[in-house]
């Protein structure tokens, strides 16, 4: 009986953390939509720390683009990785593009980039579809047609 009560309490704590993460994320998105990026950032960090995949993905994108913080693709990488591991489609597409371009000194990994963007494109991510097309056709920065792999 004591074990059951312990598991029930653990579940209650986990659910409370999840609810707090969602609330923080919603508050952050309200600030973000008002272009108050610096104010949204700490709320996203806290929400992401509580396991909110949407917050992880958005936090990664903000670091990637320099919204509310300095542009730092290497700092974006772990947030995008974590969100992608949860199956977050937007994070998969963004991570794929980051790995394809090597922005900010992030190691390029075209095989993984293509895989991630294919997964995102299957779920309707238009940007991933466009970049995959560029890669396939050898357009833009992919004009050489070579996949640069750094691991």
**Residue listed under structure tokens 């309200």:** 30
86-104 tens-digit pLDDT:
999 999 999 999 999 999 9
List own/partner pairs for 4-11 with CB under 8 A and 24 or more apart.
none
Burial of 38 (0-12, 13-18, 19+ CB in 10 A): exposed
Radius of gyration of the chain (CA): 18
- Model confidence at 145, in pLDDT bands (50, 70, 90)? very low
Q: Which two tokens stand for residue 98?
A: 């980051």
3-52 tens-digit pLDDT:
877 775 665 555 666 889 999 999 999 999 999 999 999 999 999 999 99
Q: Which domains are seen in the chain, by residue range?
A: 13-83 (1.25.40.10), 87-151 (no CATH)
Residues 85/112, Cβ–Cβ less than 8 Å: no
What's the chain's average pLDDT?
90
């Amino acid at each position: 009986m004591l074990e059951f009560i312990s598991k029930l309490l653990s579940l209650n704590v986990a659910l409370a953390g999840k609810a707090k993460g969602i609330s923080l994320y919603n508050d952050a998105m309200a600030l973000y939509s008002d272009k108050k990026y610096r104010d949204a950032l700490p709320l996203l960090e806290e929400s992401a720390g509580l396991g909110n995949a949407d917050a992880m993905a958005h936090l990664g994108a903000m670091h990637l683009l320099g919204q509310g913080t300095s542009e730092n693709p290497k700092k974006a990488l772990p947030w995008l990785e974590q969100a992608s591991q949860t199956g977050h489609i937007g994070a998969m597409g963004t991570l794929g593009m980051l790995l394809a371009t090597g922005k900010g000194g992030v190691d390029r990994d075209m095989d993984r980039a293509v895989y991630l963007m294919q997964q995102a494109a299957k779920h309707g991510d238009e940007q991933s579809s466009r970049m995959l097309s560029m890669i396939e056709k050898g357009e833009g920065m992919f004009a050489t047609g070579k996949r640069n792999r750094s691991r």
